[in-house]
Amino acid sequence: MTDFDIIIVGGGIAGASLGAEIGDRRRSLIIEAEEQCGFHSTGRSAAFFLESYGGPEVAKLTAASRQFLDAPPSVFSEHGFLRTRGDLHITPGELPELPAGIESRIVEREELERLVPGIRPQWRRALFEPGCADIDVAGLHSAYLRQFRRRGGKIRTSARLRSALRINDRWNVQLEDGSNLIASILVNAAGAWADTVATACSVEPLAIAPKRRTMVQLRVRRSGLRDLPLVDDADGTFYFKGEGDRTIWLSPHDEIPTDPCDAAPEEVDIAIAIDRFERVVDWPVERVERSWAGLRSFAPDRLPVYGFDPAAPGFFWCVGQGGFGIQTSPAAARMAAALLLDEEPDSMVAAIDAPVFSPARFAI
Ligand SMILES: Cc1cc2nc3c(=O)[nH]c(=O)nc-3n(C[C@H](O)[C@H](O)[C@H](O)COP(=O)(O)OP(=O)(O)OC[C@H]3O[C@@H](n4cnc5c(N)ncnc54)[C@H](O)[C@@H]3O)c2cc1C
């Protein structure tokens, strides 16, 4: 089959979750450039759910997603995707302010020492956000792809969009392998390649900027870390969380502008991460067990973009999910599906102001 109602470009969490919401109502195809969906940002995340992250508008999408992630309908998954861990926003000075409505409490030094044994003296106190949780990202992503297929959606991997032309109200799509596809609507869910895909479709790009983030798995001489809360600083220069009994996941919270690519960690960023970590706790670092990097892609105002392009008929943006694309995916996909199919929004997102995320906000 080469003729579809909707072709979604990109099989990461953005494309998979949107596809799963519409697969039963339109003949839909996801095309993914790589051999497997989830190879890029989706497969490289730090896998946490943190309601305070990303500012008040993103917080609304995150909060609206919680119930689904925690206890999804059994037809979607027989188990939830969250495991509560809590987050300590530690500080040597002022406590951070969280968006309104997010549960938190102040933790003074004595309790902090109990929660993070070996924490250095300059970290005087913290704000504890109990709702922070780990997300089973691989489980969630594959559940979305499964639902998409079950509802009749098709997936083609190793299928990179080379170009697309709008002829007689239809997109004529050419793939890198030379084959052609046709669709009424093209959804751009290409992550770091969002602008590349737009340009290939002769659509004005939105200046979606990919930024590299480094992750390091460290083995340290301290045990009992598996359930350690996520620990970050109020200034946003690092975070780490327990992974195994003596291992942690650590990030220097870097945001290095880069071209879209298969991102890899740089030695210098790993060194910065370890240096910052050693200023927080006195746990001797034994070795770097592994490290990886991924791209977080942002629109100029750092809000995601969902909606039809005001100047390019049939071209729908689903991009700019920055560092919150996993935790917002249930609500974002429901909202985007309503916009895409011109339907009433689902109750999950009834309180969300969709125009805030529209690409029309960038129109001159
Ligand atoms: C280190 C790191 C930590 C993070 N931590 C968290 C976290 O804790 N919580 C959270 O919610 N989020 C987190 N994120 C952010 C989250 O991972 C992203 O927001 C999300 O994965 C973006 O999903 P996506 O589908 O837009 O992008 P991607 O997963 O990158 O998918 C886009 C896909 O489009 C495909 N593609 C590109 N061009 C074409 C083309 N021409 N034709 C066909 N296919 C194409 C690509 O191959 C790719 O697979 C983190 C990200 C990173 C890098």
Nearest CA to ligand 1 atom 3: 45
How do strand 209-220 and strand 256-257 relate by DSSP bridges?
Answer: antiparallel
**pLDDT tens digits, 39-94:** 999 999 999 999 999 999 999 999 999 999 999 999 999 999 999 999 999 999 99
Is there a contact between 112 and 125 (Cβ–Cβ < 8 Å)? yes
Rounded Cα gap, residues 211 and 254, in angstroms: 8
Distance 125 CA to ligand 1 centre (A): 34
Structure tokens at 201: 């479709």
Which atom, in ligand 1's list, is nearest to the CA of 263?
53
Ligand 1 touching residue 62 (CB < 6 A): no
| H/E element, 198 | helix 194-200
Which atom, in ligand 1's list, is nearest to the CA of 39?
49
Rounded Cα gap, residues 171 and 174, in angstroms: 10
Which atom, in ligand 1's list, is nearest to the CA of 321?
19
Ligand 1 touching residue 181 (CB < 6 A): no
Rounded Cα gap, residues 197 and 289, in angstroms: 36
Query: Amino acid identity, residue 203?
Result: V
pLDDT of residue 2: 84
Distance 1 CA to ligand 1 centre (A): 27
pLDDT of residue 193: 98
For the chain, list residues with pLDDT below 50: none
Helix (H, G, I), strand (E, B) or coil at 183: strand
- Bridge partners of residue 250, in order along the sequence: 216, 240
Ligand 1 touching residue 48 (CB < 6 A): yes
pTM of the model: 0.98
